[in-house]
C-alpha cells in the first residue's frame, strides 16, 4: 500500500466504529502482518523504547476506579503515603537514566493536584528534565493554569487514560465522567504538552467496548503521541479484582489482546504503543507477538506503581533473544 493510500484508508477507518470492527474481524495472521507493515512505515524496526515509572504519591485516592489498589474506597491493604521529597525522586530518575531509560514517568494517586503541591511538582519536573530525560507525569485532572505551569517547567508528556469505551466508563469509575477525562486531555494539548492516553484491557469489557475505546482515542482532535495498553492486574480487595477472580475472564484472551495492539497500531500509525501493566503475566512469546503487532515501548524496572513488573534482567534477556534494541 502506498503512503497516500494508507492515509486515505486511515482517515476512513479511525472515525468509524464499523470500520474498526472490521479490522478486528480480519484473520489474526493477516491483521498482525498488516499492523507490522504500518509499523515499519512509521517507526524504526526491531526497536523498543524503555520508560521508567515511579509512584511519587501512593494510595489514599478519593476516586473509586474499580481496578485500582490505590483507591480509598477499596480494601486492597495498601498503605497511603505522602508526596515523596524531590531529592528522592531525582535520585530515582538518575538511576533510571543510568539503567538506560529515556523517559521518566511520575505517578500520583490523586483526583487532581492541590495548589500546595505544585511548587514541589514543578521542581521535580525541572530537575528530572535537567538530567536529560523526557519527563512525564500522571496526577489526575488538571486546570488550565496547572497544565500551563507544568508545561513551562518542562513537562514533555502528561498521562491521562480514558481506560475503556465511553459506554463502559460508568461501570468502572463513578467519581468522574468520561467527559472529565476529555477536558483534561484538551487542557494538556492547549498547554503544548504531548499526550499519553490509553487504557486497560481485560476488565470484562466486550469487543464492542474495545472498539469504542480505540475509536475514542483515534478520533481525538490529535491522536495521543503515546498509547499505553495495560492488561488488568487483578488486585484482591478491588471491585474488578474480586469480581473476576476465579472466572474465565480473570485473564484477557491473549489473541484478543494482540489483536487490540494491532488495531491500535493501524489506527494510530505514528503513536508509540506501550505494553504497560500486566506484562508479568505475559509469556515471552506473547510479548513478542505484541511487538510484531506494533507495540514499541515498555515500562522497565521491577515495579510499576504498586504492582510488580518484569525486572530489567528478564527484559534484557528477552530483547537479546528477539534482537530488539532499546536505544529508541
Binding residues for [4Fe-4S] cluster, by number, are: 61, 65, 68
Q: Give 115's DSSP letter.
A: G
Kindly state whether residue 205 participates in binding ligand SAM, applying the rule CB under 6 A: no
Whole-angstrom distance, CA of residue 7 vs CA of residue 123: 41
Q: Give me the least distance between CB of 97 and ligand SF4, in Å please.
A: 25
Kindly state whether residue 160 participates in binding ligand SAM, applying the rule CB under 6 A: yes
Q: Clarify whether 197 is annotated catalytic.
A: no
Closer Cβ to ligand SAM, 140 or 223, answer by number: 140
Position among 306, 312, 314, 324 found at the interface with ligand DTB (CB under 6 A): 306
Identify each DSSP E strand in the chain by its residue range: 49-57, 103-108, 134-138, 157-159, 194-196, 199-201, 226-231, 272-275, 297-300
Kindly state whether residue 233 participates in binding ligand DTB, applying the rule CB under 6 A: yes
- Site mask for ligand SF4 (CB under 6 A), range 30-69, x = bound: -------------------------------x-x-x--x-
Query: Which 193-222 positions form the footprint of ligand DTB (CB under 6 A)?
Result: 198
Whole-angstrom distance, CA of residue 139 vs CA of residue 121: 10
Closer Cβ to ligand SF4, 240 or 289, answer by number: 240
Annotated binding site: 61, 65, 68, 105, 136, 196, 274
Kindly state whether residue 105 participates in binding ligand SF4, applying the rule CB under 6 A: no
Buried b (16+ CB within 10 A) or exposed e, 249-283: bebbebeebbbbbbbbbbbbbebbbbbbbbbebbe
Q: Are 77 and 237 in contact (CB under 8 A)?
A: yes
Whole-angstrom distance, CA of residue 273 vs CA of residue 314: 20
Q: Which residues are catalytic?
A: 61, 65, 68, 105, 136, 196, 274
Amino acid at each position: 500500500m502506498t503512503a497516500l493510500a494508507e492515509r486515505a484508508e486511515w482517515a476512513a477507518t479511525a472515525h468509524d466504529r464499523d470500520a474498526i470492527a472490521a479490522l478486528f474481524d480480519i484473520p489474526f495472521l493477516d491483521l498482525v502482518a498488516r499492523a507490522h507493515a504500518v509499523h515499519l512505515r512509521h517507526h524504526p524496526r526491531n526497536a523498543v523504547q524503555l520508560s521508567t515509572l515511579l509512584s511519587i504519591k501512593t494510595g489514599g485516592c478519593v476516586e473509586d476506579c474499580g481496578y485500582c489498589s490505590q483507591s480509598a474506597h477499596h480494601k486492597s491493604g495498601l498503605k497511603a503515603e505522602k508526596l515523596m521529597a524531590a531529592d528522592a525522586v531525582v535520585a530515582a530518575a538518575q538511576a533510571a537514566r543510568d539503567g538506560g531509560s529515556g523517559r521518566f514517568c511520575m505517578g500520583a494517586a490523586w483526583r487532581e493536584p492541590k495548589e500546595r503541591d505544585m511548587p514541589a511538582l514543578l521542581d521535580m519536573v525541572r530537575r528530572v528534565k535537567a538530567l536529560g530525560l523526557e519527563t512525564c507525569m500522571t496526577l489526575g485532572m488538571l486546570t488550565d493554569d496547572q497544565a500551563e505551569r507544568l508545561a513551562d517547567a518542562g513537562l514533555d508528556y502528561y498521562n491521562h487514560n480514558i481506560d475503556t469505551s465511553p459506554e463502559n466508563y460508568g461501570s468502572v469509575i463513578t467519581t468522574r465522567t468520561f467527559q472529565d477525562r476529555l477536558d483534561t486531555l484538551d487542557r494538556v494539548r492547549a498547554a503544548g504538552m504531548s499526550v499519553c492516553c490509553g487504557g486497560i484491557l481485560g476488565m470484562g469489557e466486550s469487543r464492542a467496548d474495545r472498539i469504542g475505546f480505540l475509536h475514542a482515542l483515534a478520533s481525538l482532535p490529535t491522536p495521543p503521541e503515546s498509547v499505553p495498553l495495560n492488561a488488568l492486574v487483578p488486585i484482591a480487595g478491588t471491585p474488578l479484582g474480586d469480581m473476576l477472580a476465579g472466572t474465565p475472564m480473570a485473564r484477557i484472551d491473549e489473541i484478543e489482546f494482540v489483536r487490540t495492539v494491532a488495531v491500535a497500531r493501524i489506527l494510530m500509525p505514528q503513536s508509540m504503543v506501550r505494553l504497560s501493566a500486566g506484562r508479568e503475566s505475559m509469556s515471552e512469546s506473547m510479548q513478542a507477538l505484541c511487538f510484531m503487532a506494533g507495540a514499541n515501548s515498555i515500562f522497565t524496572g521491577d515495579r510499576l506503581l504498586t504492582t510488580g513488573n518484569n525486572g530489567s534482567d528478564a527484559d534484557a534477556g528477552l530483547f537479546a533473544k528477539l534482537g530488539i534494541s532499546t536505544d529508541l
